């Protein structure tokens, strides 16, 4: 996931977990991440659509976790930002006359599936609360 959405979303959620019950503004969040608040708001919409944050508008508005950090698995965050292909896909059509070429995409698909399963298993075993503890 080279686009950075997972890292940005984990950063946002870790900040929110560090301020339980508080509504944090996108400006505050973007200041820590060091990105434009518009990008933070875009990720917040996605996280809200996946039930990980709630937001309110207005002067005292902002975003907060939708549920306790102990109930948010890192795999939940990954699922919220997951791209279609875990490691990518070949951009060309291999030569069907080649022994390797005619089978490569099938074997790569299986490799990617196995790799993503291993990643998900690892992420399922860590909660946002556990991740937050690394910062104390």
- Round the CA-based radius of gyration of the chain to a whole number and report it: 18
- pTM metric for this prediction: 0.86
Q: Are 2 and 45 in contact (CB under 8 A)?
A: no
> What is residue 86's predicted lDDT score, i.e. its pLDDT?
66
- What is residue 85's predicted lDDT score, i.e. its pLDDT? 67
Percent of the chain residues topping a pLDDT of 90: 71
Contact 53, 47 (CB under 8 A): yes
């Amino acid at each position: 996931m080279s686009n950075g959405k997972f890292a940005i979303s984990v950063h946002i959620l870790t900040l929110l977990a560090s301020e339980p019950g508080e509504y944090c503004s996108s400006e505050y969040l973007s200041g820590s991440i060091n990105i434009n608040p518009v990008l933070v708001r875009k990720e917040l919409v996605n996280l809200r659509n996946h039930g990980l944050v709630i937001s309110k508008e207005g002067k005292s508005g902002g975003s907060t976790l939708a549920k306790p950090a102990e109930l948010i698995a890192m795999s939940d965050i990954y699922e919220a930002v997951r791209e279609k292909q875990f490691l990518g896909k070949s951009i060309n059509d291999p030569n069907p006359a080649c022994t390797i070429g005619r089978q490569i995409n099938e074997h790569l698909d299986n490799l990617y599936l196995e790799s993503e399963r291993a990643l998900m298993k690892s992420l399922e075993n860590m909660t946002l609360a556990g991740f937050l503890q690394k910062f104390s």
